Amino acid sequence: MAEPALTYGSYLHLDELLTAQHPVSRPEAHDELLFIVQHQTSELWLKLALHELTGACDDLARDDVPLALKRLARLKHVQHQLIEQWSVLATLTPTEYQRFRGFLGSSSGFQSYQYRALEFLLGAKDPGMLDVFAGDEAARTVLTAALDRPSLYDEFLRLLARRGHPVPADVLERDVRTPHREDPRLVEVFRGIYDAPEQVWDVYETCEELVDIEDNLQLWRFRHLKTVERTIGFRTGTGGTTGASFLRRVLDLSFFPELYAVRTAL
């Protein structure tokens, strides 16, 4: 018996995708659908971001800088989509949100394991975060894989060492399950690159791509913070998080600190 012809709807599984929105408010609040769609589409973009970021890590590990740059360029476009989505959610007024917020229970964006995996792959490793997902085996599998592998920055520093740049051995041999800490010795490594970019253009370009990615992530965090502030002010967030105050603190987190510090050293 012949297989049914592939259609647009069957290829994209639209029957599943478009019926995956299940408001929990009673009576159903009109604006809850916006809230659900916003977060579902964010998770889809995060899935693609993880796909591209993992590929870029693999590319750097095998010295394929051009392909890594291609994937990082796409990642930046994905980040722009994630940033702009906040403007849609920001149309949700405090009054509209209160009509369904109480039905959300302990659910919180803090529980997005894909976002945590993205942070891990960028270098913000935190083994303790696995405890948040103690009851979710699929999430723990994704997070453990991201925790155990070298981050994008780790792979880039290893590539620099293979190219002959004086990256300290203890930096290369560190436990990749721990977060990277700013190292003044690496500032000098990057100073050498920035002093003569024409001699190592692909490496110099990669440095700037990493800065773009961090800038974009900080913009995403800032838009998240401002959307939360305009929607719930400084109230406690869903799931017991501290809301806006927590989001403001994470703005200080840097993934590639030496790439910023080198600008002062030049």
Q: Is 39 annotated as a binding residue?
A: yes
The answer to whether 54 is a known ligand-binding residue is no
d(CA 32, CA 101): 9
**262: exposed, middle or buried (C-beta count within 10 Å: 0-12, 13-18, 19+)?**
buried
What distance in Å separates the CA atoms of residue 230 and residue 55, rounded to the nearest whole number?
Answer: 37
Q: Any known ligand binding at 38?
A: yes
Amino acid at the residue 81? Q
Q: What is the largest CA-CA distance in the chain?
A: 70
Token pair of 87 as six digits: 């403007």
Is 158 flagged in the annotation as binding? no
Query: Is 238 annotated to bind ligand?
Result: yes
Residue 115 carries which side chain, given as an amino acid letter?
Answer: Y
Q: Is 193 annotated as a binding residue?
A: no
Cβ neighbors of 31 (< 8 A, separation 6 or more) are 92, 96, 97, 99, 100
Query: What radius of gyration do the chain's Cα atoms show?
Result: 21
**Does 114 belong to an annotated binding site?**
no
Q: Does 132 show up as a binding residue in the annotation?
A: no
Binding region for heme:
224
Binding residues for substrate: 35-39, 97, 101, 238
Known binding-site residue numbers: 35-39, 97, 101, 224, 238
